[in-house]
């Protein structure tokens, strides 16, 4: 009977393929980079256009900002991911020491965690005993279910930095493209606004799709934020100039 149940379970698992999105951290980093990349250089270019700067000046300032922003954002992503990894290792060492020095206390914590899921003592007792015989599994259980920590990927910090930086550059170049081909800043800014708003709408739609939020709502929210930022920079430049 047991073999039959195992075979049945295998068949169910074979036919049932769960469609979970597994690249959450990469997408999160890309969203951070593209979002800031589209908004900050866009607002800078609009502000300089409001100050009647030439297209060449706006382009130079914009490219400098994209370079500096990519480095800054990438470094921030690296430090954040590295801090998470350091925190995980500290907690891992502490949990290892507790399992060795106070195993009964840690076993009681396992029982408490399982009880929170509605298991009775006679149900979770064998699980607790089984974990006590497998220290690594016990440690993994405590890290995940007691502390809520997932083991970070070894290259996570570097991947985060590169993803954010590249995404920032990709987003930041979009509002600057018109200034590369249109010498008159007044005309270039109008084209930049149109191109960037379209990019913000598409980006917002994609972000909403991947994060599970409403794509249409996300698209308009993202475009609205970019429009407000650029309008504020343009108006401030005009006010200062006046």
The reported pLDDT for the residue numbered 132 is 83
The pLDDT value recorded for residue 23 is 53
Q: State the pLDDT at residue 237.
A: 66
* Domain residue extents for the chain: 26-241
Cβ proximity of 200 and 226 under 8 Å: yes
pLDDT value at residue 59: 92
Sequence-separated (6 or more) residues with CB below 8 Å from residue 21: 27, 210
Q: Which long-range contacts (CB under 8 A, 24 or more apart) does 13-21 make?
A: 21/210
pLDDT score recorded for residue 13: 45
pLDDT at 10: 54
Three-state SS at 145? helix
Cβ-based burial of 4 (10 A; exposed 0-12, middle 13-18, buried ≥19): exposed
pLDDT of res. 15: 54
Alpha-carbon torsion (110, 116, 122, 123), positive or negative: negative
Mean pLDDT, contiguous 10-residue spans, the chain (242 residues): 50 51 71 85 82 87 93 92 88 86 84 81 81 83 82 84 93 91 86 88 82 80 80 71 58
CA-CA distance, 138 to 99, in Å (whole number)?
8
pTM of the entire structure?
A: 0.74
The pLDDT of residue 164: 93
Cα torsion through 141, 144, 146, 152, rounded to 10:
130
Q: What does the pLDDT read at residue 203?
A: 84
Structure tokens of 139?
A: 């440690």
């Amino acid at each position: 009977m047991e073999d039959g149940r195992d075979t049945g379970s295998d068949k169910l698992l074979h036919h049932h393929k769960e469609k979970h999105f597994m690249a959450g951290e990469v997408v999160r980093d890309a969203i951070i980079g593209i979002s800031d990349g589209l908004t900050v250089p866009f607002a800078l270019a609009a502000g300089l256009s409001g100050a009647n700067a030439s297209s060449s000046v706006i382009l130079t300032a914009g490219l400098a900002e994209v370079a500096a922003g990519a480095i800054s954002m990438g470094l921030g992503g690296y430090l954040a991911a590295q801090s998470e990894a350091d925190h995980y290792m500290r907690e891992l060492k502490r949990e290892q020491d507790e399992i060795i020095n106070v195993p009964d206390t840690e076993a009681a914590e396992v029982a408490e965690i399982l009880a929170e899921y509605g298991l009775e003592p006679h149900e979770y007792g064998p699980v607790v005993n089984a974990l006590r015989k497998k220290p690594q599994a016990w440690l993994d259980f405590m890290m995940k279910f007691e502390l809520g920590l997932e083991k970070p990927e070894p290259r996570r910090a570097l991947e985060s930095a590169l993803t954010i930086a590249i995404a920032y550059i990709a987003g930041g170049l979009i509002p600057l493209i018109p200034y590369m081909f249109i010498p008159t800043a007044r005309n270039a800014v109008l084209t930049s606004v149109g191109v960037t708003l379209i990019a913000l709408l598409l980006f917002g739609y994609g972000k909403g799709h991947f994060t599970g939020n409403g794509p249409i709502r996300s698209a308009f929210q993202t475009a609205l934020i970019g429009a407000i930022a650029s309008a504020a920079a343009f108006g401030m430049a005009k006010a200062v100039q006046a």
